[in-house]
Homo-oligomer: A and B are copies of this chain.
């Protein structure tokens, strides 16, 4: 417990968290501080490329083992399964309609790559290694949850024509970039990494700071302008679902025998909720679902929770579970 607090304290005072807080505060105070859309997109391209490439290069360095395939399978299963858990909770805890609940559930089965990146930074800061292929696990967890949500809605009776939706989801820019740069990193390995290291490694933390500043601004603006008015139980869901997700992720990770770092990251992936790929898919696939509910929950509640308290908890738990001290 003391360890978690220390870790949480350290985490809260890291530049990236403080940058997020700055953005949040600025937006809530109605400052006109803003990051241009093109710059925000440019930074997200940079982060996805860097994280994918580094993961691929790490796999190239360590060789592919059975662990990779098992971890990917675990990720796919989790992404399919978590929405059912979330949906059940939402329907019993909150007054959300079937469609709104399914849409929210899709977000929690999928992942937040920035939360993943932030967790990677914390692990690096503590010198805890993780399997390089966890990036690939992140990529495969983006999409399956969307199918589960559609299944949940279809069960409820409203069938819908979804020509080309699946292709659109799998070819989503962030998935393609993450998988593509992972493969490039795996192919070019240490040589490739050496060539572009001073681009994707050294300035990474700094770019992450500015990116989180922007995330804070967007989250704050969302909280301020949202007409949703989340019910109290919905907020409670946004704070407990990450813990439940992390627990299920821990279970899966222990079964397949991940290292401390890998376990922590699988917990983070399971705990985090999407706010890029899934919202866009929902606008196409479940337009009746209210976007301000799922956006506010995912970006305004769960993302800050994971960033500040969640990550330290998951890292501490992973250490305890794998017998590694902090």
B-binding residues in A (CB < 8 A)? 13-15, 18-19, 22, 25-26, 29-39, 41-42, 45-46, 49, 53, 167-168, 171-174, 176-177, 180-181, 183-184, 187-188, 192, 195-196, 198-200, 202-207, 209-210, 213
CB distance B195 to A15 under 8 Å? yes
CB distance B45 to A192 under 8 Å? no
CB distance A14 to B49 under 8 Å? no
Complex CA–CA separation, A31 to B180 (angstroms): 12
In-complex Cβ contact of A32 among B34, B49, B172, B180 (8 A): B172
Complex CA–CA separation, A201 to B13 (angstroms): 21
**Beyond A26-B180, A45-B210, A196-B209: 6 further Cβ-contacts under 8 Å?**
A15-B195, A22-B180, A26-B173, A33-B176, A37-B38, A198-B203
Can you name 13 A-B residue pairings with CB atoms under 8 Å?
A: A14-B192, A15-B53, A22-B176, A22-B181, A22-B184, A26-B171, A31-B176, A32-B171, A33-B173, A35-B41, A49-B210, A196-B206, A199-B205
CB distance B202 to A26 under 8 Å? no
The count of identical subunits is 3
CB distance A177 to B38 under 8 Å? no
CB distance A199 to B196 under 8 Å? no
Which 7 residue pairs across A and B have the least CB separation, nearest first? A199-B206, A33-B173, A36-B38, A198-B202, A39-B42, A38-B38, A31-B171
CB distance B180 to A34 under 8 Å? no
Closest to A203 in B: B199
Complex CA–CA separation, A181 to B26 (angstroms): 12
CB distance B33 to A41 under 8 Å? no
A266 to chain B, nearest CB (A): 25
A80 to chain B, nearest CB (A): 23
Closest to A26 in B: B176
Closest to A204 in B: B199
Complex CA–CA separation, A32 to B164 (angstroms): 13
CB distance B18 to A187 under 8 Å? yes
A72 to chain B, nearest CB (A): 20
A163 to chain B, nearest CB (A): 13
- Which of A18, A31, A168 has the largest count of B CB atoms less than 10 A from its CB? A31
Complex CA–CA separation, A177 to B210 (angstroms): 11
Chain B residues, Cβ within 8 Å of A192: 14-15
A52 to chain B, nearest CB (A): 10
Chain B residues, Cβ within 8 Å of A177: 22, 26, 33
CB distance A18 to B188 under 8 Å? yes
Complex CA–CA separation, A34 to B176 (angstroms): 11
A183 to chain B, nearest CB (A): 8
